[in-house]
Amino acid sequence: MFLLISTLLWANPQDTPQPPTEDDPNTSDTQEETSSPKEESSNISNEENTPSETVEEAEDTAPSQEELATIEQSEQEKTLSDLILLLNEATPIEQRITLLNELHLAPNVLPALQTLSLHGPISIRKEMLTLLKEHPEDPVTYNIASSTLSANANEDIKETTYVLLKTLKTPQAAQILKERAESKNVSSKERKRARTLLENHYPKFLAKNPPRILTADPFARAIFSTGSAVLGGNLFATLGRLSQGDDGAALGGTTGSLAGGVGGYLYTQDKSFTHGSAWYFIHANTWGSILGSGLAERMSLDDNLYSIMRSVGSLGGAMYGIHTLSKERSVDDVLESNLIIGQSTYLSSALFALSGLTYGESDLDSILFGSAVGFGLAEFISPHWKPDLGTALLASVYGGEAALLASSLDDEGYAVDGLGHFMVSAAVIAAELQDHFQKPKPHVIATSIYGAYTGHIFGNGVSNLQSSYSSLPISIGGAVGTIAGSYIGTKSPYFDSSFLLGSSVLVAANTFGLYGIVDALQSESSTDGTLSGIRDISTGLGNMGMLYAQDKFNLTGERTLFLTSTSLWGSYLALTGTAIIGTEPSQLGGSMLLLSSFDIGLGAGAYLLSRPNFQIRDSINPQLFAIIGASLGTFGAYLINNSARSLAIGSLVGTGLGGYMGTKYSIDLPKTDFFDKLFISAVPQFSQEGDLGVQMQIGGLLGD
């Protein structure tokens, strides 16, 4: 930056100091200094000062060329230091604005400020754009104005830039406005503003250089023509029906479709609109026709009046679509509008049922009311609402839990008409609001599922303890767990895909062990649900404990995966030891062995993490070498003897040798975000016997 600024400051050759010449009398190597002795008496006559002496004194007091060059160089050095302060982000904003007001008039400084005008703080950028009105002849002024508008700056910066272009009153400023008025990359609102400024402040320029009219591409015009063909068919079919009955309706529909399609294509030949705006024309046309038909059905009109109402609704929707054709809509906006209308209709039906408004046409009334309200809401919501896959997943989790709770309430006799629909609709809307305002990360959705699963397990335990076998505690637990999981996921900084993957394995292993122990303790003829209740509540508490440990001990994804690996090594050693001994434990013994060895490995991993000098990355190579050694040891033992004991001994020996080799040799592992791309999904599932379980899936193994 220093070289750039120096080059800009010294760019003018007239400002560069020239070396002294030999003929210059003011640049001699030695200069005689003359001094007159002080006179003791003061009666010296002024007449002794001759004209020649006065000229010599003037020459002696005038600055030499070297002194002028020194002064100029000093000023340039000060300008350079001030410019460095101005460009330094550590300098206070107020001081930078003061320096900007001082420096912008200095020669050759303006080019150095172009970067600041695009990437500096907003207050400095606005101040600089305001000061550029004092540089109407400098090309840098127009480069900065054009670059600022092209960089999609915020509205305040754009407003200041348009004020500058309006104030300059130069052909260059008018040309920038003309380019904005013609650009397809600019919103229709901004194009209209640029054209208005041209008309008000540059009328002569506009008369000589009118901006070209933008037109939509052929595909957008074809979409619009399809909608106009539908509109024409509706209108002409109505006229034909009123004139000649059904035959006239058929002929009128065909004629109107052809005329409407061709007319729509011709109408848009000088119009500029997006594909989304064209689809919205069809959207408004269709919903207008639906509402008109619904009203006619509600009023029990005859065929002729029914056709008129349908045509009026279609025409009204089409006129609104044409009125808003210049809006920069996207296809997603149209899809979101339909989604909002659908949700509004669904909620309206639920509210009608809850309010007890049940009469002959109540269903149709609820649909018409919900559709009309949804159509109006969509106009305000869809431009600001951008749902994605995460929105759909979160809404599915919330809506699914609400549906389970509503079903349980119905089974217990607590439900009323419309309650289930209302609960599902409210849950989905809540998920959409959370997604819009918080934009939760993917792991928040996973923690919601984790919480739902934990709540289901805990609720099932309560149900078993009560021996009621009711699904209501399960549903309530799932609903509470979903909300709690979502909240915890948004608050904790350590939740990520790695943590969720590791914790899922830990929870699944402990759940499997507990279920095995309880199943072994329960006799086949026993109907007491106490043990099952204790089992489920213990599992639920274990899941909650994982969340508590994650927050209490800062369990990052890396730490959680390490604990998972040590737990699996504990189970591996226990199972291998059992095979070497040659005993076949009972279901109770095997379940207890598996659970205890898994937890011992978990404790060993926690102890290692508590050591101050322990690094998880140092354990990766020994574990990888141990896996390789176990594979080679098992294969070597198989070549000698294929008995279970031989295979177990070979595997255990290979594991030990491999782990030892891993401490001596290393493999440079590339840094990867593989685990960050993994995600899990879990869905509660009941077995054929009625026991509650969970189906878990791992995704993202193949990358993006």
* Interval 272-281: pLDDT, tens: 788 889 999 9
pLDDT of 164 strictly over 80: yes
Query: Which residues lie closer than 8 Å to 305 by C-beta, 6 or more apart?
Result: 296
Q: Let me know: does 665 contact 675? Beta carbons within 8 Å.
A: no
Pairwise pLDDT comparison (365 vs 505), residue with the higher score: 365
Nearest residue to 646 via CA among 654, 637, 655: 637
Sign, CA dihedral 539-544-546-549, equals negative
DSSP 414-440: ---TTHHHHHHHHHHHHHHHHHHHH--
pLDDT of residue 113: 76
Q: Give this prediction's pTM.
A: 0.58
- At residue 556, does pLDDT exceed 60? yes
Residues contacting 644, CB < 8 A, separation 6+: 579, 582
358 CB-near residues (< 8 Å, 6+ apart): 352, 417
Query: Mean pLDDT across the stretch 187-201?
Result: 83
Residue type (1 letter), 275: H
| pLDDT value for 699 | 54
Name the nearest CA neighbour of 429 among 492, 478, 381, 484.
Answer: 381
CA distance linking residue 617 with residue 609, whole number of Å: 12
Q: Position 199: which residue type?
A: E
Interhelix angle 331-354/362-381, nearest 10 degrees: 140
How many Cα atoms are found within 13 Å in the side-chain-facing hemisphere of 377? 16
Q: Is 340 exposed, middle or buried (0-12, 13-18, 19+ CB in 10 A)?
A: buried
Give the pair of three-digit tokens for residue 171. 């052909």
66-118 pLDDT, tens digit each:
666 666 667 777 778 878 888 787 888 888 888 888 887 777 777 777 777 77
Q: Is the pLDDT of residue 172 over 50?
A: yes
Buried b / exposed e along 524-548 (16+ C-beta atoms within 10 A): eeeeebebbbebbbbbbebbbebbe
Report which listed range, 74-83, 164-173, 379-388, 455-464, is most confident: 164-173
Query: Which residue from 254, 161, 271 is spatially nearest to 215, judged by alpha carbons?
Result: 271
CA diameter of the chain: 142
Asked if the model's pLDDT at residue 525 lies above 70, the reply is: no
Residue at token pair 């003929």: 23
CA 436, 438, 444, 450 torsion-angle sign? negative
* More confident of the two residues 162 and 672: 162
Q: How confident is the model at residue 63 (pLDDT cuts 50, 70, 90)?
A: low
Residue 500: per-residue pLDDT: 64
| Per-residue pLDDT, 281 | 94
Contact criterion met (CB below 8 Å) for 513 and 523: no
As to burial, measured by CB atoms within 10 angstroms (0-12 exposed, 13-18 middle, 19+ buried), residue 288 is buried
* Amino acid letter, 131: L
Q: Are strands 679-686 and 692-699 parallel, antiparallel or unpaired?
A: antiparallel
CA distance 619 to 667: 12
- Provide the β-strand partners of residue 693: 685
- Facing residues of 683 across strands? 695
Structure tokens given for 45: 């006559």
pLDDT at 341: 93
What pLDDT does residue 360 have?
Answer: 64
- Convert the pLDDT of each residue in 396-430 to its tens digit: 999 999 999 998 888 888 878 888 889 999 999 99
Q: Which residue, 559, 548, 545, 553, is CA-closest to 511?
A: 545
Q: Which helix (H) or strand (E) holds 615?
A: none
Alpha-carbon distance of 116 to 87, in angstroms, equals: 7
User: What is the distance between the alpha carbons of residues 528 and 307, in angstroms, rounded to a whole number?
Assistant: 67
Cβ-based neighbour number of residue 104 at 10 Å? 17
If we measure between CA atoms, which residue out of 314, 287, 117, 330 comes closest to residue 230? 314
Spatial distance between the Cα atoms of 456 and 477, rounded to a whole number of angstroms: 5
The 10s digit of each residue's pLDDT in 638-649 is 888 878 888 888
How many residues are recorded in the chain?
704
Q: For the chain, which residues make up each domain, given as ranges?
A: 2-8+65-168, 215-324
Q: Is the pLDDT of residue 560 over 60?
A: yes
